[in-house]
């Protein structure tokens, strides 16, 4: 049996009901973990990272830099020590760099590798190989990069080295932190200034971390700029817990009557807190305490107690701030009183799966009236006393779909069985154990 067949076989079986209780720390932030490896590798000096996410996606980034000659110790209980090689110190990898399921690795590395003196090939699994890459390869080409894609603009990506890059001003057509970060990383190697303007605020970890490594980033409203030719200086990075992983417990505790959880040391960068804003608008009982800054990123403990939720029209300006949390939010909507309407979220169709269609299909299996639209969903929630149905749903190898439906079981009338859950390890290793310890009746 090959590896893929083995990983395919993970199935979650979640018995219905229960409540969530306890204090827990979910694994490290995926976005910040990726960036810590990238900038730590290109820095001068030794960077120590703590709280690093030991999930498959961040490990794909780590392996890629090892393959390019960077000495990286760990990860050991979230500790990684990176011996930076400087901006020009990466070496030609022996073969293609496999990014697995990770869009962030592929898109950010594509920018960074455009500025190297050697050729590279970026590959990924079947999901990643179907995701749109022209959103990065086209603006990179404007900067002078030469990158080959398939005819339909997907991976494998062949990034040609030794191409002189020049800075551009790019107005992003989609609100994407991956595109913004890709171009800023290429901009480090470009002659002149690279500026990226976003149509709506997206996560700004790249800008913050570049500044933390001593690289000046000019930010003016929706525009971020870097001047090429600078250098990065090693620094230590403490990665907060991932709000995108915490989101499953925020929704679970909200919908399971009698629940009370404290999520510790969660990153609450305002470009990531859409899930808190949306759940609060739905009536959720969420309080933040112990708010402080860690290495340029705000963190807090988040307490969530169950509360009756109501359906809302989700404000479109919250969409990029909660872009990864919609699978969980759809489950919240199914348990809320009345209609929840999401618009302006077409991007969900090109994530690890088509999250609009796949969530609608699974919610139908659980008896929920969920109508997918081109750019969102309309969900009729049953309200505080309602039970969802039960049944077997497909995660389509999408980690966040699997975890969202696991939480749905808290309000189901019978077991929820979820197929193809191996990719939960891409972002949330240990999910089953942590969720079970908190009260979810899950087994794999
Ligand atoms: C990410 C940006 C988002 C998000 C992804 C991580 C990042 O993607 O969905 O999980 O780390 O920059 P887009 O920028 O494509 O929206």
Claim to verify: residue 419 and residue 432 sit in the same structural domain: yes
pLDDT > 90 in the chain, percent: 97
Going through 64-171 in order, the beta strands assigned E by DSSP cover 71-76, 79-85, 97-98, 120-123, 147-148, 157-159, 169-171
Instruction: Look at the alpha carbons of 215, 160, 181, 140 in this order and tell me if their dihedral is positive or negative.
Output: positive
Which pTM does this prediction carry?
0.97
pLDDT reading at 72 higher than 70: yes
Claim to verify: residue 209 and residue 113 sit in the same structural domain: yes
pLDDT reading at 7 higher than 80: no
Q: Is the CB of 61 under 6 A from ligand 1?
A: no
List pLDDT tens digits, range 111-150: 999 999 999 999 999 999 999 999 999 999 999 999 999 9
Region 178-192: mean pLDDT is 98
List pLDDT tens digits, range 26-55: 999 999 999 999 999 999 999 999 999 999
Claim to verify: residue 98 and residue 230 sit in the same structural domain: yes
Claim to verify: residue 259 and residue 307 sit in the same structural domain: yes
Claim to verify: residue 224 and residue 292 sit in the same structural domain: no
Claim to verify: residue 228 and residue 188 sit in the same structural domain: yes
Report the pLDDT value the prediction gives residue 5, as an integer from 0 to 100.
Answer: 38
Mean pLDDT taken over the chain: 97
Q: Is the CB of 245 under 6 A from ligand 1?
A: no
Ligand 1 atom closest to the CA of 350, numbered from 1: 15
Question: Given ligand 1 and candidates 177, 180, 321, 325, which is best to mutate, with the most ligand atoms within 8 Å of its CB?
Answer: 177
List pLDDT tens digits, range 376-435: 999 999 998 899 999 999 999 999 999 999 999 999 999 999 999 999 999 999 999 999
Cα–Cα distances (Å) from 410 to 18, 56, 325, 398, in that order, read 6, 27, 18, 20
Residues labelled as active-site residues: 324
Region 57-75: mean pLDDT is 98
Claim to verify: residue 15 and residue 138 sit in the same structural domain: no
Task: Measure 227 CA to ligand 1 centroid, in angstroms.
Answer: 23
Claim to verify: residue 120 and residue 7 sit in the same structural domain: no
Single residue among 185, 213, 238 that ends a domain in this structure: 238
The C-alpha angle with vertex 158 and arms to 127 and 3, in degrees rounded to 5, equals: 40
Q: Is the CB of 31 under 6 A from ligand 1?
A: yes
Claim to verify: residue 263 and residue 346 sit in the same structural domain: yes
| Residue range of the domain that includes 208 | 30-238
Beta bridge partners of 256: none
Region 335-355: mean pLDDT is 98
Ligand 1 atom closest to the CA of 176, numbered from 1: 14
Claim to verify: residue 318 and residue 379 sit in the same structural domain: yes
Q: Is the CB of 136 under 6 A from ligand 1?
A: no
Taking phi first (over 0 means left), then psi (-120 to 50 degrees means alpha), and beta for anything else, what does residue 234 get?
Answer: beta
- For residue 81, the domain's CATH number is 3.65.10.10
Single residue among 212, 238, 264 that ends a domain in this structure: 238
Cα–Cα distances (Å) from 252 to 47, 381, 413, in that order, read 36, 15, 15
Question: Given ligand 1 and candidates 269, 324, 355, which is best to mutate, with the most ligand atoms within 8 Å of its CB?
Answer: 324
pLDDT reading at 3 higher than 50: no
Report the pLDDT value the prediction gives residue 4, as an integer from 0 to 100.
Answer: 43
Please enumerate in sequence order all residues whose Cβ is within 8 A of that of 57, keeping only pairs 6 or more positions apart, or say none. 30, 34, 100, 101, 102, 104, 105, 426, 427
Single residue among 207, 238, 269 that ends a domain in this structure: 238
């Amino acid at each position: 049996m090959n590896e893929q067949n083995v990983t395919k076989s993970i199935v979650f079986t979640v018995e219905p009901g229960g409540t969530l209780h306890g204090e827990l720390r979910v694994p490290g932030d995926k976005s910040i973990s990726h960036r810590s490896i990238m900038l730590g590798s290109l820095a001068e000096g030794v960077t120590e990272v703590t709280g690093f996410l030991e999930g498959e996606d961040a490990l794909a980034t780590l392996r890629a830099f090892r393959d390019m000659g960077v000495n990286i110790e760990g990860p050991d209980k979230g500790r990684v020590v990176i011996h930076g090689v400087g901006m020009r110190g990466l070496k030609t990898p022996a073969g293609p760099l496999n990014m697995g399921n990770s869009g962030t690795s592929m898109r950010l590395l594509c920018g960074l590798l455009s500025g190297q003196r050697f050729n590279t090939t970026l590959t990924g699994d079947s999901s990643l190989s179907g995701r749109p890459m022209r959103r990065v390869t086209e603006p990179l080409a404007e900067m002078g990069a030469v990158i080959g894609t398939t005819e339909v603009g997907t991976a494998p990506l062949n990034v040609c080295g030794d191409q002189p890059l020049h800075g551009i001003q790019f107005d992003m057509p989609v609100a994407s932190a991956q595109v913004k970060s890709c171009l800023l990383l290429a901009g480090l190697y470009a002659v002149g200034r690279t500026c990226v303007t976003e149509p709506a605020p997206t996560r700004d970890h790249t800008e913050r971390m570049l500044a933390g490594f001593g690289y000046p980033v000019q930010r003016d409203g929706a525009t971020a700029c870097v001047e090429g030719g600078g250098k990065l200086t090693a620094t230590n990075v403490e990665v907060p817990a991932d709000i995108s992983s915490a989101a499953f417990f925020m929704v679970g505790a909200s919908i399971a009557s009698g629940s009370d959880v404290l999520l510790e040391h969660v990153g609450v960068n305002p470009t990531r807190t859409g899930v808190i804003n949306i759940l609060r608008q739905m009536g959720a009982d969420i309080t933040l305490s112990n708010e402080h800054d860690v290495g340029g990123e705000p963190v807090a403990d988040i307490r969530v107690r169950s509360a009756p939720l109501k359906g809302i029209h989700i404000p479109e300006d919250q969409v990029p701030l909660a872009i990864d949390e919609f699978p969980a939010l759809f489950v919240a909507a199914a348990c809320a009183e009345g209609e929840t309407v999401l618009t302006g979220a077409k991007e969900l169709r090109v994530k690890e799966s088509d999250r609009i269609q796949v969530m609608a299909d699974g919610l139908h299996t659980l008896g929920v009236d969920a109508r997918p639209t081109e750019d969102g969903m309309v969900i009729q929630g049953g309200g505080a006393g309602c039970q969802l149905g039960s049944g077997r749903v497909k995660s389509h190898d999408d980690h966040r779909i699997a975890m969202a439906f696991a939480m749905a079981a808290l309000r189901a009338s019978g077991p929820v069985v979820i197929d193809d859950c191996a990719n939960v390890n891409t972002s949330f290793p240990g999910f089953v154990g942590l969720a079970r310890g908190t009260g979810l009746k899950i087994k794999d």
